[in-house]
Structure 1
Amino acid sequence: MDLLTVNDQQGAYPNSYYAATTRHLAPFAAAKGRITCDVCVIGGGYMGLSTALHLAQRGYDVVLLDAQRVGFGASGRNGGQIGQGQRLDQDELETLAGALTARALWDIGRQAVDLVRDLARSDLVEAKVHPGIIHADHKHRYCKHSRDYAAKLNDSYGYDLIRYLDQEELRYLVNSPAYCSGTLDTGAGHIHPLAFAFGLARMAKAAGVRIYEQSQVTELEYKTPAIARTAEADIIASHIVLGCNGYLGHLQPDVANHVMPLNNYIIATEPLSPEQQENILRNNYAVADSKFVVNYFRFSDDHRLLFGGTESYGYKFPTDISAAVQKPMLETFPQLKGTRIDYAWGGTLGITMNRMPHFARLSGNVLSLSGFSGHGLAIATLAGQIAAETIAGQAERFDIMANLPSPRFPGGTALRSPLMVLAMLWYSLRDKI
């Protein structure tokens, strides 16, 4: 089975709230014949679009290929949260990589959020960044960590935009009995993710990028120049950048040993009144909780609650996504019982064993940047800028990311899914204890 088509129609966006509420791009033609360029970028999500844009702005002749449509994958289906830092907390990064590297990773995370804000200011990006993400603790044993972590970022990292929320203040902001404390980060934010992806595509096209859709790469030749082959085209390029993430398939086995696909699901309620919205979530903040299988939610600009949760590791989405996601939504907000669900959709992201991105130089002129593990809106966008500067000869930020430990999944691609299912059963049990 092919993740590109097993849950979706070829050439069509999913029936998501995002696809229904943004101005679509005209389709791009498929690649045909022999095409030459400086750089061939494979994958039209945030990473690929940002790579193509930043290379074109540097004067490179860039071809971007997408097997479906630009923004078709996780970049157009996610929760829209623009989180600070990396997927791991700074405490964990200091243990993983040491204090100096952890500080460099924090700076990279800050740069990622700043880049999204800067790009979103373009007239070609028809989406607005809304400030504020709350991290909500679902167990009392996490309260001390949240208080200490906010203080650490304030004192050790000079970041004064995050603060601790006690139970009373958290309940005022997030009217749910499920949470006992948390943090509020007003330097983070949220955005319409598909509109942002479309904006990047418009910017890339305006900068001169040649974009081809429905052009799945089936073979790579690692030589100079390198070749990317589709069913109807050979793209000959001085450099190739892979940005396939969860949709890599069998194109690059070594990357697939480090990055595996995971399915996640979101629902959108009917529009609520402003009063109903305030009874759920004040100040239009986004929220992600402390569960291992994270619940995340925010309101759309037209007052719908967008609630994400539940995961699966097989190829197929559940037959009833709405019912699967309503369960954690109603556990979190019992007052929403009886609320109509207007949209329900799934998407496939790429995760790594340690939840840190996997950056790799596959040969002298072929790069891969993927495995953003649910933290990709900002980091994947910055990864494109990093890929562009690396090709231009400045690899400092690339090397910081590429030198991080990146363990392979046990059992390779054949056994990674069943082993992850067993691990997830344990962690979901731990969430309930």
Structure 2
Amino acid sequence: MARLDILTANDRPGEYPGSYYAATATALEPFDEALGEIACDVAVIGGGFTGLSAALHLAEAGMDVVVLEAHRVGFGASGRNGGQVHPGQRVDQDGLEEMVGPDMARRLWDIAVESVDLTIDYARRYAPEAAYVPGLIHADHRQRFVAHSHAYAEKLNRDYGYDRIRPLARDEIRAKVGSGAYFGGVEDMGGGHLHPLNYALGLARAAREAGARIFERSRVGWVSESEPVRLGTAKAKVSARYLLWATNGYLGDLDRRIASKVMPINNFMIATEPLGALADELIPENQAVADSKFVINYFRLSEDRRMLFGGGESYGYRFPADIAAKARGPMLEIFPQLAQAKIDYAWGGTLGITVNRMPHFERISGNILTAGGYSGHGVALATLGGKLAAEAMLGQAGRFDLMASVPTLRFPGGPAMRTPLLVLAMLWFSLRDKL
């Protein structure tokens, strides 16, 4: 049986999905398709946050950079996600201290804080239309989780000097989130939310203006690991001193070493009609919200006062026929007030996860690097990930190597067993969320 083509299974080649983001983006004229023989210092496969950030940093440093995007810049998870900018790594500091020790955990925390600061700076400088808004709430859907959330906020204040986060009691969270579903949580004013596709397009404009050459509708079909590295699309052959894999969940089968550690999974979002005054009852202070379920619900308001809601699990790589129903059910569990609200947009996307939910950074060979596997935490970390890859290619590899030293294990059974194992895991965690 032929393997699923992750780049075309759910999308039309060269087109953005029918998302709220695509409908409201400040559009860029399409970039040219790659043609003929192309030589460069660095080739980047993937035009999302990682690839565009790397291209921007390298071009600013005087490197000749070529970005090869199979569809359109920001086409993948970078242009479809919840737009939430999270401080910290995907694994919390308690987990990191156990995984890598307190000293390295502190260095990983500092990198994560820098990733948020960099993202906010870039959004304001290169993509004001992304409309960054500060404020992020972690909402506990079980009473037994609240004590840990509060203790963790206190730990970040005490041990990491992070004073932007504070505990929320039950009455406080219900004043900030108009739902009876949550028992407490934390408010983090160091994080926030933005329009992710506008942010990606802003990075693309900045990279182009810095001198990077960006090609769209230029799907890479083969890579030859040599010096220089060689790679090809349907109509071009590229040679480069360095190569960066920046594909995240859309790698497919091009490199099985990366595929063994980064697994694609789907997530789904909906956008309601504009809600007017009701929006202020649901999230009166306009923060982004993510809850404590393993199959996480995340939501925020758009600039035009729609509810943008992500949720619902999927057990295969093809999107369900009715995406709106997939995400609408979890939304109504939290906000029954939206029972009569019309769903104007519904879309899916594919992200990359790892076994331990930490990003996968690796030097595949002397001149080939990869960064991805952000596990749903990629808006900020992918932005900095591109910068760290650029630093490594410019001869300052320390911080890239620090991220690469965090162990990311292979999925048991390799790529062939990932899907059935995902089904079992998601069924279990979905059941646990309901108990």
TM-score by length of 2: 0.98
Structure 1 residue aligned with 2:150: 147
Residue 34 of structure 2 is aligned to residue 9 of structure 1? no
Q: Conserved in 1, the CA contact under 8 Å of 2:58 and 2:65?
A: yes
1:101 aligns with one of 79, 99, 104 = 104
> In the TM superposition, what is the alpha-carbon distance from 1:54 to its structure 2 partner?
0.4
- Mapped partners of 1:291, 1:317: distance in 2: 21
Is the 8 Å Cα contact of residues 125 and 198 (structure 1) preserved in structure 2? no
Q: Distance in 1 between the 2:312 and 2:96 partners?
A: 26
Task: State which of 22, 25, 33 in structure 2 corresponds to 1:22.
Answer: 25
Which residue of the partner structure matches residue 115 of structure 1? 118
- Where 2:160 maps in the other structure, the secondary structure is coil
Instruction: Return the letter of the residue paired with 2:174.
Output: R
1:369 corresponds to which of 371, 383, 395: 371
Distance 1:271 1:236 in 2: 49
Which string of whole-angstrom CA distances, capped at 9 and with x for unpartnered residues, describes residues 72-118 of structure 1?
00000000000001001100110111101110111001000000111
SS of residue in 1 equivalent to 2:81: coil
Q: Which amino acid aligns with 2:187?
A: L
Match of 1:286 in 2: 288
Q: 1:280 is matched by which residue type in structure 2?
A: L
Letter matched to residue 303 of structure 1: R
Q: CA deviation at 1:32?
A: 1.2
Q: What residue is the counterpart of 2:408 in the other structure? A: 406
Give the direction of change, closer, same or farther, for the CA distance of 1:342–1:375 in structure 2 (3 Å limit): same
1:321-353, CA deviations, whole angstroms, 9 ceiling, x for partnerless residues?
Answer: 001111000000111111110000000000001
Q: CA deviation at 1:315?
A: 2.1
* Amino acid of the structure 1 residue aligned with 2:163: D
Give the AA of the match of 1:223: S
Name the structure 2 match of 1:241. 244
1:36 and 1:236 in contact (8 A); partners too: yes
Match of 1:88 in 2: 91
Q: What residue is the counterpart of 1:269 in the other structure?
A: 272
Aligned-partner SS, 1:241: strand
**8 A contact 1:47–1:382 mirrored in 2:** yes
The amino acid across from 1:322 in the alignment is A
- Return the alpha-carbon distance in structure 2 between the equivalents of residues 124 and 180 of structure 1: 36
Contact kept, 8 Å, 2:10 with 2:319, in 1: the verdict is yes
Identity of aligned residues (%): 59
**Whole-Å Cα distance in 2 between the matches of residues 365 and 125 of structure 1?**
35
CA distance in 1, matches of 2:58, 2:333: 46
Number of matched pairs: 432
User: Which residue of 1 is the match for residue 397 of structure 2?
Assistant: 395
| Aligned residue number for residue 209 of structure 1 | 212
How far residue 149 of structure 1 moved from its aligned partner, in angstroms, is: 0.3
Match of 1:137 in 2: 140
Select which of 314, 317, 320 maps to 2:319. Answer: 317
Q: CA deviation at 1:233?
A: 1.1
The CA distance in 2 between the partners of 1:381 and 1:395, in whole Å, is 17
Q: Secondary structure of 2:38's partner?
A: strand
Q: Structure 2 counterpart of 1:212, which letter? A: F
Per-residue deviation at 1:428? 1.0
Distance 2:126 2:133 in 1: 17
Trace 1:321-336 onto structure 2 (pairs within 5 A): 321-336=323-338
Which digits, 9 at most, give the CA deviation of each residue in 1:202-252, with x for residues without a partner?
Answer: 000000111111111111111111111111111100000000110000111
CA distance in structure 1 between the partners assigned to 2:251 and 2:329 by the alignment: 31
Structure 1: segments with no counterpart, 5+ residues:
none
Q: Which amino acid aligns with 1:58?
A: A
Deviating more after overlay: 313-322 vs 301-310: 313-322
Q: Does 1:174 align with 2:177?
A: yes
Does the CA contact (< 8 Å) of 1:86 and 1:375 recur in 2? yes
Measured after TM superposition, the shift of residue 123 of structure 1 is 4.9
Is 2:56 the counterpart of 1:67? no
2:33 maps to a residue whose letter is: A
Q: Distance in 2 between matches of 1:55 and 1:152?
A: 37
Contact 1:125–1:200 (CA under 8 A) maintained in structure 2:
no
Alignment partner, residue 263 of structure 2: 260
Q: Which residue of 2 aligns with 1:196?
A: 199
TM superposition shift of 1:176: 0.8
**Selected match of 1:299 from 298, 301, 304:** 301
Structure 2 residue 59 is matched with structure 1 residue 56? yes
Residue by residue, what CA displacement relative to the aligned partner does 1:240-283 show, whole Å, maximum 9, x if unpaired?
0000110000111000000010000000000011x211211121
Q: Which structure 2 segments of 5+ residues have no match?
A: none
Q: Verify the 8 A CA contact 2:315 2:426 in the aligned structure 1.
A: no
Match of 2:429 in 1: 427
- Does the Cα contact within 8 Å between 2:224 and 2:230 map onto a contact in 1? yes
Matched, 1:228 2:231: yes
* C-alpha displacement of 1:399: 1.1
Q: Which of 33, 38, 42 in structure 1 is aligned with 2:36?
A: 33
Q: Which amino acid is the alignment partner of residue 428 of structure 1?
A: S
C-alpha separation in 1, matches of 2:178 and 2:150 = 20
- Which amino acid in the other structure matches residue 107 of structure 1? D
Counterpart residue number, 2:382: 380
Shift of 1:125: 4.6
SS at match of 1:317: coil
TM normalised by structure 1 equals: 0.99
**How big is the alpha-carbon RMSD for the aligned residues of Structure 1 and Structure 2?**
0.8
The Cα of 1:126 is off from its aligned counterpart by 2.3
- Give the Å deviation of 1:23: 1.5
In structure 2, what is the Cα distance between the partners aligned to 1:315 and 1:301? 31
Aligned residue for 1:282, secondary structure, equals coil
